[in-house]
Amino acid sequence: MEAIIIVIFSFILLSCILAGYSILWALLFGYMMFFGYALRQGHTPVQVLTMSGRGIRTIKNILFIFILIGMITAVWRACGTIPFIIYHMSGLLIPSVFILIVFLLCCFISLLTGTSFGTAATIGIICMSIAKANGIDPTFTGGAILSGIYFGDRCSPMSTSALLISELTQTDIYCNIKNMFKSALLPFSVTCLLYALLGFSGTGNTGTADRNTDPCTANCSTYTADLYSLFPQNFDLHWTTTIPALLIIVLSLCKVNVRLTMAASIITGSLLCLFLQDITPAQLGSIMFYGFYSADQQLAQILSGGGIISMFTVSVIIILSSAYAGIFEATGFLNTTQARLAQLGEKITPYGSILLTATITSMATCNQTLSSILTYQLHKDSADNMQQLALDLENSTIVVAALIPWSIACAVPLATVGAGNASILFAFYLYLLPLYNLWRPYKVTPV
């Protein structure tokens, strides 16, 4: 019966995505199915609601951090932090190493902001526009963007996925990040080498600029000139606009509490909004809640977004997914699967079993959040070291979900930048990381 429910749930999820409906409808339908399963087992409605609440309580701290993330992503846009970074870094896009620099830029922005979708919607769009304007293959560029945006989504202190896994495993996020960097060093280096070879070999250059379909300009210099004039017209790009980002870096290195780190950045960014960008207190409050939206249409395409309200969907996804986890744990819904995976882990490796689980759950659930929670649920009882489990989850569920074409983790960024599914083949970092750790698992020393 459990298998039938999972198949139906997966079918509904995939149907919602293909039909263009919000994944929330599928998750709500799934909750009703699992609720009914618990009732069929003999539990009362009150008991099932208690199970759900128990699951949700495990992620209560994350929900508050989501509010801070929504505020910080809006304030950074409004105070000039993100415009300053994009304005100055876009000039680094040298044709011969274009694809490598695209990857590194997306890594840097995603590491600062912790959001894959936000990185794709800002520097990702700019990089793809420059690529198309200069006849650089958008397939390779899309692969570099997809790789880069999930570098930070995996290991930024502001990443919702990193925070979720830290909360699930009850581990310190900064220890997790240190382990993530160490385990990714070789895959990251090889990825850089591959993108550099693509650029130097000229493989990524199609030889013709797409002047007919690309809305941007006909060449890189003209596009960059337009970009340079766009940001200064709308923002005061004083060097102090980098302070909110620098605070995140410095305080994270000092291992200051994530909430305090974000609060310090929000306060600094708010002061810059008020005294540098001439935003009124009322406007600032609106920006924090609803997000930043520019009146300039061209600027709005690459900069608008953020705000507390932008975190609503991801918050509901995590709440529903955590409610599932509460029901699964109390009813033993996954017990049979857990036992089989434990046996599989003995035959191959614990990481190999986790990677296989992550691949299947990512394909079935179409999103990182539920895949992470399900994979954690299935392996938590067999894990001897929670820090090792946290690292293995980051090296599997977070990156594998971005390789599934019908998953929102893959489909949304590619659609945002205008790249096809063929770009997945050139998202080297996303499959080199799990393959390397499958070959040589990184062992975490218990703390």
Instruction: Decide if pLDDT at 46 tops 90.
Output: yes
Tell me the two tokens of residue 245: 């980002």
Q: How confident is the model at residue 96 (pLDDT cuts 50, 70, 90)?
A: confident
Distance CA 319, CA 52 (A): 9
Q: Angle formed by the axes of helices 335-347 and 350-365, to 10°?
A: 140
Higher-pLDDT residue of 206, 84: 84
Q: How confident is the model at residue 213 (pLDDT cuts 50, 70, 90)?
A: very low
pTM: 0.79
Q: How many residues does the chain have?
A: 447
Tell me the two tokens of residue 175: 């220890």
Instruction: Decide if pLDDT at 277 tops 80.
Output: yes
Average pLDDT over residues 108-128: 84
Instruction: Decide if pLDDT at 211 tops 50.
Output: no
What pLDDT shows up at residue 124? 86
Q: Angle formed by the axes of helices 98-113 and 173-201, to 10°?
A: 160
Q: Which residues fall within 8 angstroms of residue 447, CB to CB, at 6 or more apart?
A: 172, 175, 387
Tell me the two tokens of residue 308: 């507390």
Average pLDDT over residues 100-106: 93
What pLDDT shows up at residue 202? 61
What pLDDT shows up at residue 427? 95
Instruction: Decide if pLDDT at 90 tops 50.
Output: yes
Q: How confident is the model at residue 303 (pLDDT cuts 50, 70, 90)?
A: confident
Average pLDDT over residues 180-190: 94
Q: How confident is the model at residue 446 (pLDDT cuts 50, 70, 90)?
A: low
Give per-residue pLDDT as tens, 318-359: 888 888 888 988 888 877 776 777 777 667 788 988 999 899
Q: How confident is the model at residue 215 (pLDDT cuts 50, 70, 90)?
A: very low
Q: Angle 147-299-141 (CA atoms, 0-180°, nearest 5)?
A: 25
**Amino acid identity for residue 153 in this structure:** D
What pLDDT shows up at residue 222? 53
Cα distances (Å, whole numbers) of residue 255 to 60, 146, 247, 250, 258:
21, 28, 12, 9, 8
Distance CA 428, CA 54 (A): 39
Cα distances (Å, whole numbers) of residue 414 to 77, 251, 351, 421:
22, 32, 28, 7
Average pLDDT, the chain: 85
Distance CA 279, CA 274 (A): 5
Residue among 48, 38, 66, 146 at smallest CA distance from 102: 146
Residue 212, number of CB atoms within 10 A of its CB: 5
Higher-pLDDT residue of 209, 76: 76
First to last CA, the chain: 41
Instruction: Decide if pLDDT at 98 tops 80.
Output: yes
Instruction: Decide if pLDDT at 300 tops 60.
Output: yes
Do 135 and 208 meet the contact criterion of CB atoms below 8 Å apart? yes
Residue 333, number of CB atoms within 10 A of its CB: 22
What pLDDT shows up at residue 203? 57
Q: Angle formed by the axes of helices 368-379 and 350-365, to 10°?
A: 140
Instruction: Decide if pLDDT at 218 tops 70.
Output: no
- Continuous segment of H or E residues that includes residue 92: none
Do 153 and 412 meet the contact criterion of CB atoms below 8 Å apart? no
Distance CA 359, CA 362 (A): 5
Residue among 370, 367, 373, 354 at smallest CA distance from 402: 367
What pLDDT shows up at residue 214? 39
Q: Which pairs count as long-range contacts for 207-215, CB under 8 Å and 24+ apart, including other chains?
A: 207/135, 208/135, 209/132, 209/133, 209/134, 209/135, 210/132, 210/133, 210/135, 211/133, 213/132, 214/129, 214/132, 214/133, 215/129
Do 110 and 154 meet the contact criterion of CB atoms below 8 Å apart? no
Do 393 and 371 meet the contact criterion of CB atoms below 8 Å apart? no
Give per-residue pLDDT as tens, 130-146: 787 677 889 999 999 99
As a dihedral over the C-alpha atoms of residue 117, residue 122, residue 126, residue 127, rounded to 10 degrees, the angle is -50
What pLDDT shows up at residue 129? 73
- Give SS3 for 272: helix
Instruction: Decide if pLDDT at 442 tops 50.
Output: yes
Instruction: Decide if pLDDT at 228 tops 80.
Output: no
Distance CA 147, CA 45 (A): 44
What pLDDT shows up at residue 39? 93
Tell me the two tokens of residue 179: 């382990």
Cα distances (Å, whole numbers) of residue 349 to 144, 183, 374, 390:
30, 17, 19, 16
- Continuous segment of H or E residues that includes residue 256: none
Distance CA 180, CA 362 (A): 20
Give per-residue pLDDT as tens, 362-409: 887 778 888 898 899 888 888 888 999 999 999 999 999 999 888 888
Q: How confident is the model at residue 271 (pLDDT cuts 50, 70, 90)?
A: very high
Q: Which of 248-257, 269-278, 296-305, 384-393 has the lowest mean pLDDT?
A: 296-305
Q: How confident is the model at residue 225 (pLDDT cuts 50, 70, 90)?
A: low
**Amino acid identity for residue 441 in this structure:** P
Instruction: Decide if pLDDT at 216 tops 50.
Output: no
Average pLDDT over residues 91-97: 73
